[in-house]
Structure 1
């Protein structure tokens, strides 16, 4: 049963309405986030442990450094989900406590941006390895050191500043012409507000659109290159094609719908659609943002467990009882010895 809330001001946030107008729907969103958190946290934590203590990613010549940072960004993002779920259960689209709200926005956008950034860098690295294996490039030289990863994290920090402004999450861009006290803004203040509103929307959209374009370009060229190969195990080639294609599909499902929904919500706010239409657009946007958090669950499955060697190493490390029976039936030189060797796992990730 839906419950409609009146306009809420909440801690000096002006006339911005951040109330969840459909409690049952937002309770469902909260349940989905809790499920994602319960499933993804132990999965990402175990993969992170494997990278540090088994694979020693910092010594690897492969793209394990990028994958480690990808998993790290996802696991940091996961800690925001219980707080976000609590807001939804209380009928709030975001916390009315300014400190909590801005802290959440900082964590959400920094770590989601990092997740997308390292996913993109990993795709670029694979593009050069497959399409231009002999060509020297800056990324190939830098990926052996942590400097490029540190640079990516530092680069993302200033990009989170526009997203932490008070009206961002409830998508009030280019609408209100009043300050926090409810007074009309002067023309100069309105211009400043419009510039800031436009800047944060540019950050939101480009954070997804540009990596998607890069991902599509790399995926198409990698798939074409792999399909032209006549030497090698056909099964492995098909698995490699499936892997790079699945990355693009997961990215498309998780992130593209939310930018489309945000565009519609922006139009609804700017053109002053009816309250019902605006509430529907807001609810759809929030639901698709919840869908984007499932990327934290899918990333380790797509990037790590598509490798049979990594999957074997993972099972051998955390669930040895599942592989013990199989290992007894196979030659030790072709099964356990290879699976438990981190160097062999490094070669395929």
Structure 2
């Protein structure tokens, strides 16, 4: 049976819901833009990430910033009762950016977790992740490897409205959408399994260590736990909702689909909060970044409170003298 491919399945099933979601995205943009700009400033001009072995963290910041830039366009479409742009170029460009930035965030977050895993569980062995951190070109390679995952959004047969499960004139549509679904689920499920494994092994290692070694191990636990929080809030819920949506759509339950679509889109909007949560990962990964950020942007009385709370955390400091001033600098972790 021939289906009219010009039929628009991307109208918002409930305009009130999507107007609310649009305001949530505007809020994420208003909070995320200055936050990520300030983090970029710290990494580039104050922290000098290329000297402090924080290249992977910097790449997460770049991915978050590019995500924030896309939010006003998505909010505009939701405000006008559309789940996506009616302009195919704009639609595919936004999907390309969202696929690429989501993949980059996940890839570099998992790389950080693996680095902590090898440093703790396989201490003394050659840590290939630490070797990668010393090579800036590796980050470029990771971005380039992520590009093929965005191919489904660029193909001519791709439907901007995530139309897997609908009937079309040619089988190419179904192949393209199936490929996109495989990419969507594997880039969330497989990294989450790796993350849980790393967390379990690190916690197990922590229980076996003596008191003198536990400070570093606790920091490693906090790193992987912060990444788990980001995954649990931003990525897993939308993956589960996506699976439910595909099930309902394949069963052709149109009334239920209208509801599930709203839930799925709401959880996708929630997933954009990773640009607000990732700074927690930066602070746990490197206490030096946290100290520099606080000393740059926080008022003096807040600096004293926050920095004094870190004095008992086991961080090692070096005291240097500059004229009549004494400056305490934290030793940055590798």
The reply to whether TM is greater than 0.5 is yes
| Residues 282 and 205 of structure 1: CA distance in aligned 2, closer, same or farther (over 3 Å) | same
Aligned to 2:314: none
Please, which of 121, 129, 134 is the counterpart of residue 111 of structure 2? 121
Within 1, Cα distance between the matches of 2:244 and 2:163?
Answer: 12
Q: Give the TM-score of the pair, scaled to structure 1.
A: 0.83
Please, which of 298, 305, 311 is the counterpart of residue 290 of structure 2? 311
Please, which of 5, 11, 20 is the counterpart of residue 19 of structure 1? 11
Task: Quote the offset at 1:320 in angstroms.
Answer: 5.0
Task: Quote the offset at 1:27 in angstroms.
Answer: 1.2
Aligned to 1:347: 333
Q: How does 1:105-120 map to 2 (within 5 A)?
A: 105-120=95-110
Range with greater deviation from structure 2 (244-253 or 152-161): 244-253
Partner SS state of residue 19, structure 1: coil
| Residues 146 and 13 of structure 1: CA distance in aligned 2, closer, same or farther (over 3 Å) | farther
User: Is the Cα–Cα contact under 8 Å of residues 120 and 217 in structure 2 kept in the other structure?
Assistant: no
2:288 matches 1:302: no
2:149 matches 1:159: yes
| Residues 205 and 325 of structure 1: CA distance in aligned 2, closer, same or farther (over 3 Å) | closer
Please, which of 233, 240, 247 is the counterpart of residue 253 of structure 1? 233
Q: How does 1:50-89 map to 2 (within 5 A)?
A: 50-60=42-52, 62=53, 64-89=54-79
Aligned to 1:31: 23
| Residues 307 and 346 of structure 1: CA distance in aligned 2, closer, same or farther (over 3 Å) | closer
Partner SS state of residue 211, structure 2: coil
Partner SS state of residue 10, structure 2: coil
Aligned length: 319
Task: Quote the offset at 1:322 in angstroms.
Answer: 3.5
Please, which of 232, 252, 256 is the counterpart of residue 212 of structure 2? 232
Task: Quote the offset at 1:134 in angstroms.
Answer: 1.2
Q: Give the TM-score of the pair, scaled to structure 2.
A: 0.86
Within 1, Cα distance between the matches of 2:202 and 2:176?
Answer: 39
User: Is the Cα–Cα contact under 8 Å of residues 227 and 281 in structure 2 kept in the other structure?
Assistant: yes
Within 1, Cα distance between the matches of 2:243 and 2:134?
Answer: 39
| Residues 336 and 152 of structure 1: CA distance in aligned 2, closer, same or farther (over 3 Å) | farther
Within 2, Cα distance between the matches of 1:209 and 1:228?
Answer: 29
User: Is the Cα–Cα contact under 8 Å of residues 167 and 173 in structure 1 kept in the other structure?
Assistant: no
2:261 matches 1:290: no
Partner SS state of residue 232, structure 1: helix
Aligned to 1:182: none
| Residues 175 and 95 of structure 1: CA distance in aligned 2, closer, same or farther (over 3 Å) | same
User: Is the Cα–Cα contact under 8 Å of residues 16 and 167 in structure 1 kept in the other structure?
Assistant: no
Task: Quote the offset at 1:312 in angstroms.
Answer: 2.2
Task: Quote the offset at 1:313 in angstroms.
Answer: 1.5
User: Is the Cα–Cα contact under 8 Å of residues 55 and 346 in structure 1 kept in the other structure?
Assistant: no
Q: CA RMSD in A?
A: 2.8
Within 2, Cα distance between the matches of 1:225 and 1:149?
Answer: 29
Within 2, Cα distance between the matches of 1:320 and 1:163?
Answer: 45
Partner SS state of residue 290, structure 1: helix
Partner SS state of residue 160, structure 1: helix
Cα displacement string for residues 52-85 of structure 1 (whole angstroms, at most 9, x for unaligned residues): 112211123x4x1100001110111110111101
2:28 matches 1:49: no
Residue segments in structure 1 that go unaligned for 5+ positions in a row: 1-8, 178-184
User: Is the Cα–Cα contact under 8 Å of residues 223 and 244 in structure 1 kept in the other structure?
Assistant: no
Residue segments in structure 2 that go unaligned for 5+ positions in a row: 312-317
